[in-house]
Each structure stands twice: as structure tokens, then as C-alpha cells.
Amino acid sequence: MSDFTSGFWNIYVAGLTLVSIIACLILLWISGTTKAATLHDNTTGHVWDGDLREMNNPLPKWWVYLFVITVVFALVYGLLYPTFGKFQGLLGWSSTGQHTAEVAKVEATIAPIYARFKDMTPEAIAADPQAKAIGERLFMNYCAQCHGSDARGAKGFPNLTDNDWLGGGTPEAIKTAIANGRNGVMPPMAAAVGGAEDVLNVAHYVLSLANTPHDPVRAVQGKAKFASCAACHGADGKGLSAIGAPNLTDGIWLHGWGEEAIVRAVNNGINNAMPGQAALLNADQINVLASYVWGMSNKPAN
């Protein structure tokens, strides 16, 4: 990487750019002063289609002036904006600075809208029609790509409407997840459980915890081996939200249900990553979005 961070490349790019601009002026000067060998009638001797002859006329003045203006513009632009290597330009402009300024302008515009929700409880925000409309737009822009437009998720992407939360379902926990993201990791456990038969037995024991179809004999044999899983999922299999270990008794299967899916999870482990949105959303937006998400699984009774 030292080759790409060396100061030489800045000088190289700056020099190449400047030389290219100057070369355009030199080319224009040469083309305007060099006399081509022509015949007595000012033709070059090139003939096409029998009678179409190439003349040796000078470039139109408007074209020459336009060419000069283009070169001058390039030099002025290079002085004002970043063009020549590390030189930032007299105006000090940068794409990062422009982006920061535009974000600040937008945030200043929307700040009064979100100010109304600052002192409201998550329950009140989730019930407020304006906040719900804003939360829905934020959800569609930043969350629906994974969790679906109806927030019911898909295989590998949690359903946000069923009140089953791997990392905690409180508004504060949801805020933290939105801002910082989450990384749910289950290590491969086949070696800890035993051989292939032991893994299969554990899978049926897990199926039995959720009262789903299973082989009772294998389930009994797998109960003792489940001790390797209990450190995260608990002895009763109800999980531990503090570390994101799912409840295995509620019949909700994030990565697929059945013997094959559980065996695959035990053998290979699972790694689920949710990206944080703090770089895209400010604290007020996260507050409204988290309350909206919380409200989808905590609807008031009719």
C-alpha cells in the first residue's frame, strides 16, 4: 500500500494534468503555424469519389477561440477546485465538505418536525399519527430491504411484528440495535455435541422443546447432549437476550425449521449481521424509527 500513499503519485498526477493542458495549447499553436504542403489550388492532393478534394483552410476563428477558452477554463478550475494532486484549490471545496453541509442543511430543516417527539414516551410516539407516518417512511428507506415492507422478515431476517426479540424488545434495545447494528453469532457446535448421531439427536430434542414433530427416542437421547447448547440457550432452551441467543421453545425459526435446518446450524454455526444506521440517521430519527418498530409488535388491544 505504500506505493499508493506515497507523495510521488500526487506530484505525478498534478504534473501529468498540467502538462496535458499545456500540450493542448502547444498543439493549437503548431496547427496554426505549420504550413502543410499544398498544390497551387490550396488542395492537399487527397481526392475521394473522383472529384472530392481536401482543402488546406485554417481553423475557423470561433473554434480556435473556443479551444483557448476551454484551456483557460481548465487552468482556472484547477486553481479553484482540487485538480492538481494534493492541492485543494483556493475555494477549499471537497465532496466530503459539500456532503456534510448538505446533511447539516437537511437536519436543520427537519429538526423542528422531530422536536415535538423528543419529550414523548415511545408508547406515545408509536401511537402518534404523524410520528407513525414518519417512522413508516424511515422504515421503508432503511429497514424494508431486509425485513420486508410488512416488517415480517424472511429466512435469516427477523420478523419485527411477532414480539420475539433476540437482543431485547424494549425501545432502548431497539434504538441501540438500529444505531449500532447487531452481529448474531452461533459457533459450530458439532465437535462439542459429539458425532453425527449425537447432532441428529440434539436436533430432535430441540424440535421437542417447541412441541413440533420429532422422533421421541432421539429426543430423549439428545437431552443430555443439549448441555453443550445450554450455556447460551439456557437449560430450558428459552434463550438469553443479553447475548442474543434465541428461544428454542416458541416455534419461531429464523433460519428455517426442521431436522435438516437444525443439524446444519449445529454443524456449521450461524453468523447474522445487521448494519448500524447511526451514520445515516440522527438521534431524533432513530428515536422515532425505534418507537415505530416497537409499536408494530406492541399494538394496543382492541
Angle, alpha carbons 134-167-169 (nearest 5°): 50
Architecture of domain 104-181+275-296: Orthogonal Bundle (1.10)
> Cell 430543516, residue?
109
Same fold, 104-181+275-296 and 185-274: yes
> Partners of 183 in the beta sheet?
273
Q: Is the pTM of this model over 0.85?
A: no
> Partners of 47 in the beta sheet?
53
136 or 32, which is more confident?
Answer: 136
Domain boundaries, the chain: 2-80, 104-181+275-296, 185-274
**Do the bridges between strand 182-186 and strand 52-55 make them parallel or antiparallel, or are there none, so unpaired?**
unpaired
Dihedral angle of Cα 65, 69, 72, 73, to the nearest 10 degrees: -170
Q: What is the CATH number of domain 185-274?
A: 1.10.760.10
Q: Say whether pLDDT at 176 is over 70.
A: yes
pLDDT at position 55: 79
**Residues 40-60: pLDDT tens digits?**
777 877 888 888 888 777 778
pLDDT at position 115: 93
Q: Say whether pLDDT at 302 is over 70.
A: no
Annotate the chain with three-state secondary structure: CHHHHCHHHHHHHHHHHHHHHHHHHHHHHHHHHCCCCCCCCCEEEEEECCCEEEECCCCCHHHHHHHHHHHHHHHHHHHHCCCCCCCCCCCCCCHHHHHHHHHHHHHHHHHHHHHCCCCCCHHHHHHCHHHHHHHHHHHHHHCHHHHCCCCCCECCECCCCCCCCCCCCCHHHHHHHHHHCEEEEECCCHHHHCCHHHHHHHHHHHHHHCCCCCCHHHHHHHHHHCHHHHHHHCCCCCCECCCCECCCCCCCCCCCCCHHHHHHHHHHCEEEEECCCCCCCCHHHHHHHHHHHHHHCCCCCC
Measured between alpha carbons, how far is 215 from 3 in angstroms, rounded to an integer? 62
Angle, alpha carbons 253-254-257 (nearest 5°): 40
Confidence bin at 168 (pLDDT 50/70/90): confident
Average pLDDT over residues 118-123: 93
Measured between alpha carbons, how far is 293 from 296 in angstroms, rounded to an integer? 5
**Residues 72-91: pLDDT tens digits?**
999 999 999 998 888 889 99
Q: Count CB-CB contacts under 10 A for residue 116.
A: 13
Q: Say whether pLDDT at 276 is over 90.
A: yes
